[in-house]
Amino acid sequence: MIITFLGTGSGAPTTKRNVSGIALRFTQRAKWWLFDCGEGTQHQILRAPVKLSQLEKIFITHLHGDHLYGLIGLLASRSLRGGGESAVELYGPPGIKEYVEGIMAVSPVHLQYKLSIHIVSPGVVFEDEEMIVRAAPVAHRVPAYAYAVEEKARPGAFRVDLAVQAGIPAGPLFGQLKKGESVTLPDGRVVCGRDFVGPDIPGRKVVYSGDTGPCQAIIELAADADVLIHEATYAHVEADLARRAGHSTAREAAQAAKQANVNQLLLTHFSPRYESDEGLSMEDLLAEAREVFPETELAEDFSSHEVKRMRQLIGE
């Protein structure tokens, strides 16, 4: 899994940062998912290592414009450019269906693919054989959800050495044992495949907060995550502004990461005030977060981050 930021600013786009949009790429599947779709996201996609035709799912955290206003144009362009005939699944809070269908009714959009819209509620919102996505309500001025994307654990490696020690002949029996099946050997012994397979390989976990003030829900959702992507709209000296707007400071994001025991924190959704030459800077946001949680980075438009399993990073 690779995270690519398409927009890392808040409120309105600037010359340095577009508004919210995050691509989560699955390199082995040639598919990717989009989290939030602020105005201009499709322009960002043109400059990013993703193809609109390979977009599979879209998750919207809430219905504020800087997370939503690029959606209809992106859906339309996916048809106009060709190659986008595969279905798209759209997930979002109550109101997302009315929003999409209302705009399409007034300004007709003829999609060349099936668009399915799912209304999010707390708990599991998607699951297949490989992945599971959970949603949790967070603390914002409108109904808003954070999302956790988790890979399911995979079976461990087949222990050829143990099979050889047990006198099991190489060949088709190895394949059956690797699947965990019980097999009868030529000498009449019955062996169980589970005894010849190593521990399950844990999947990776990525959590995206969307817009939120400090809340227990994001800490619980992000528990033991490999990566937490958390908004950090303000510096902590401006916590009063954050409270009024339903946002978090960089320090509060770091505190959530620490309490959730995550491996890495990526900050995003920055107020444009920290890009000016006066007052506090982006470096100040990073410094205050790292005082609490050292494994913190600032997201930049088009920056990419490979999601590594925690045990790989700590050398297990």
Reduced to 3 states, what is the DSSP secondary structure of residue 90? strand
Query: Distances from the Cα of 59 to the Cαs of 30, 55, 73, in angstroms?
Result: 18, 11, 16
Reduced to 3 states, what is the DSSP secondary structure of residue 206? strand
Q: Which of these, 25, 2, 38, lies nearest to 231 by C-alpha position?
A: 38
Q: Is 66 a catalytic residue?
A: yes
Calpha distance 184→192 (Å, rounded): 9
Lookup: tokens for 89: 């699944």
Q: Which residue out of 66, 211, 226, 301 is catalytically annotated?
A: 66
Q: Which residues fall within 8 angstroms of residue 299, CB to CB, at 6 or more apart?
A: 5, 8, 229, 266, 267, 268
Q: Which of these, 85, 79, 84, lies nearest to 51 by C-alpha position?
A: 84
Give bridge partners of residue 116 from the DSSP assignment. 89
Beta strand segments in the chain, E: 2-7, 21-26, 31-37, 55-59, 88-92, 115-119, 123-127, 131-137, 145-151, 182-184, 190-192, 205-208, 227-231, 264-268, 296-298, 304-306
DSSP symbol at 108: -
Supply the residues annotated as catalytic.
66
